[in-house]
Amino acid sequence: MTQKFKGIIPPMLTPLLSNWKIDNDGVKKLVDHMIDGGVHGIFILGTTGESTSLSYQTRRALIEQTAKHVNNRIPLLVGITDTSLEESLNLTSLAFDVGAAAVVAAPPYYFHLGQEELSEYYWDLAERSKLPIFLYNFPAMTKISMTVETAVRLSEHPNIIGLKDSSADIEYFHALKEALNRENFALFAGPEEILAETVMMGASGGVNGGANLFPKLYVKMYEAAKATDFETIKILQKQILEIASLLYTVGKYNSSYMKGIKGTASLLGLCKNYMAPPLKPFLQKEMIEISNRLERIQSNLKNMPL
């Protein structure tokens, strides 16, 4: 069953209008762009999708419109991360109704939880969810790192089918990989810089923000890693690192990635450059910088074996 959860599953940007409502045209363009690029699934309402900044009405609209446009061409995963279990379950119901393949849940991120509390929370969620669940470890945001022991215990619930790790802690990822080494459990790493190495070491794929922009590049990297085609990996890795070092580093604060990826998507015509508060889109000065850097990347991409 979980075989369908593999490969490149981009955490989709949320195309917004100036009033923070869903830009339906943007959704269509972005979905088609990624499917044309060969991605293996789409994950909406993750961190990259500004999920927590959106009202529930907006989240519901995005779920409905994306599902309609994906139209079962590839699996759709829906982020239900919330501080309220009730609201997470409400979103899960809707995801089920529109035919999503799975939901993805990071820990509730307001209170500081202990491992047992975290474990009970996920178990309750799994008991009540109509869809299979991906765990989502992102300690920088949620203030808790799911231990390997907790992940192993949770993986025993039939409704918990995978884990996405965005900790960027590679020791942890290897420990998870060793402990959760089973056919039917999918393991994904977030940071795109380690897509190749984690897939070579046995990960199911990557949930890479950059695949909103350049889906073919990440899909090709996934295939090269599966084939341990080292010549191709080296060439593509250089390119993937360049994207991170150029497009995700403009501006200050921790929001450079979020603002950079949306700004770039707008330059590529995939969506408009609006963001929901508390994050604000780059203004002209930063957008000129992004534009110059994007030009350089696009020029290099022409020489890639995509």
Among 114, 158, 269, 305, binds a second copy (CB under 8 A): 114
**Contact range with a second copy by CB under 8 A, out of 29-37, 192-200, 204-212, 261-269:** 192-200
Determine, following the binding rule CB under 8 A, whether residue 124 of this chain makes contact with a second copy: yes
Q: Where does residue 142 fall: left (phi above 0), alpha (psi -120 to 50 degrees), or beta otherwise? A: alpha
For a second copy, the binding residue among 178, 269, 296, 305 (CB under 8 A) is 178
Binding flag, residue 87, a second copy (CB under 8 A): yes
Q: How far is 43 from 164, CA to CA, in rounded Å? A: 11
Instruction: Work out which of 9, 78, 113, 131 binds a second copy, going by CB under 8 A.
Output: 113
Q: Counting contacts by CB under 8 A, is residue 277 touching a second copy?
A: yes
Residues 55-74, one symbol each (x = binds a second copy by CB under 8 A, - = not), give xx-x----------------
**Is 300 one of the binding residues for a second copy (CB under 8 A)?**
no
- Binding of a second copy by 194 (CB under 8 A): yes
How far is the first Cα of the chain from the last one, in angstroms, to the nearest whole number? 30
168 binds a second copy (CB under 8 A): yes
- CA-nearest of 33, 88, 25 to 56 is 88
Interatomic CA distance for residues 289 and 293, integer angstroms? 6
* CA–CA separation, 293 and 133 (whole Å): 38
Among residues 68, 121, 157, 235, the one that binds a second copy under rule CB under 8 A: 121
The sign of the CA dihedral 197, 200, 202, 208 is positive
**If binding is defined by CB under 8 A, does position 297 make contact with a second copy?**
no
Q: What is the rounded (10 degree) CA torsion for 261, 22, 109, 92?
A: -120
Asked if residue 283 binds a second copy (CB under 8 A), the reply is: no
Q: Is 78 helix (H, G, I), strand (E, B) or coil?
A: strand
Residue 237 near a second copy by CB under 8 A: yes
DSSP 8-state assignment for residue 22: B
Of 2, 90, 93, 147, the one binding a second copy (CB under 8 A) is 90
Residue partners of 56: CB distance under 8 A and separation at least 6:
87, 90, 91
Among residues 72, 156, 278, 284, which is the contact residue for a second copy, using CB under 8 A? 278
CA–CA gap between residue 249 and residue 258 (Å, rounded): 10
Closest to a second copy by CB, 64 or 229: 229
Angle ∠(218,270,258) on CA atoms, nearest 5: 70
Cβ count within 10 A of residue 40: 21
CB of 204 to a second copy, least distance (A): 17
Nearer Cβ to a second copy (84/292) = 84
In the bound state with a second copy, the residue whose beta carbon lies nearer, of 2 and 90, is: 90
- Hey, how many other C-beta atoms are within 10 angstroms of the C-beta on 275? 21
Residue 206 contacts a second copy per CB under 8 A: no
Number of residues that bind a second copy (CB under 8 A): 65
Q: Name every residue whose Cβ is closer than 8 Å to that of residue 158 and which is 6 or more positions away in sequence.
A: none
d(Cα 247, Cα 234) in Å, to the nearest integer? 20
Give contact residues for a second copy (rule: CB under 8 A): 20, 47, 52-56, 58, 83-87, 90, 107-114, 116-118, 120-121, 124, 140-141, 143, 168-172, 174-175, 177-179, 191, 193-194, 197, 200-201, 228, 230, 237-238, 241-242, 244-245, 252-255, 258, 276-280
